[in-house]
Amino acid sequence: MGKLTNRMALYAGALIGASVAGALFPQATLWAQAPTTFPAGDGQAKAQAACAACHPVAIVAGKRYDAQKWGAVVDQMIDKGAKVSDADYDIIVTYLAKTYGPAN
Ligand code: HEC
């Protein structure tokens, strides 16, 4: 019994280690096929900070909206608690419309 408990502790340790590594180096998480960061572009860092806090980037990356619709989505997210300053609002909406617009 003692032996089994030790093995389980080791296994749990390995799992925790792997998830910490995944958090620090998301690109090293081989089994994650979905994007974990927004693609480069003006406003990328701001979108990453504001829009990757609560859900995976993939939830955003799967949409194709124009600027007006992205503005409505960002408004909704602010209602849910997303932190988007007035100064960043246009930058993020423009970035999203350019990166995930109807033409892409
Ligand atoms: C405070 C947490 C939070 C932050 C930050 C946040 N979201 Fe969300 N987002 C949610 C929740 C919760 C849902 C699921 C909402 C639902 O389905 O009712 C969601 C869902 C979505 C969806 C899917 C909606 C759908 O109809 O399928 C999109 C797109 C989205 N968010 C975009 C964004 C963008 C863009 C940002 C950055 C401005 C952002 N989110 C930041 C909480 C957040």
Determine the Cα angle at 97 with ends 32 and 31, to 5°: 5
- Residues 40, 90, single domain; the answer is yes
What is the number of domains present in the chain?
2
- Residues 76, 50, single domain; the answer is yes
- Kindly report, residue by residue over 15-34, the tens digit of the pLDDT: 545 554 455 555 544 444 57
Are 82 and 92 a contacting pair, CB within 8 Å?
no
- From the list 56, 23, 61, the residue with the least C-alpha distance to 39 is 61
Whether pLDDT at 92 is above 90: yes
- Residues 90, 40, single domain; the answer is yes
Using pLDDT thresholds of 50, 70 and 90, give the confidence band for residue 12.
Answer: low
pTM score of the predicted model: 0.76
- Residues 57, 103, single domain; the answer is yes
Q: Give the SS3 label for residue 76.
A: helix
- Residues 15, 38, single domain; the answer is no
* Average pLDDT, integer, range 49-72: 96
Domain that holds residue 21: 1-28
- Residues 92, 62, single domain; the answer is yes
**CB-based pocket (< 6 A), ligand 1:** 50-51, 53-55, 59-60, 63, 73-74, 77, 80-82, 84, 92, 96
* Average pLDDT, integer, range 67-96: 98
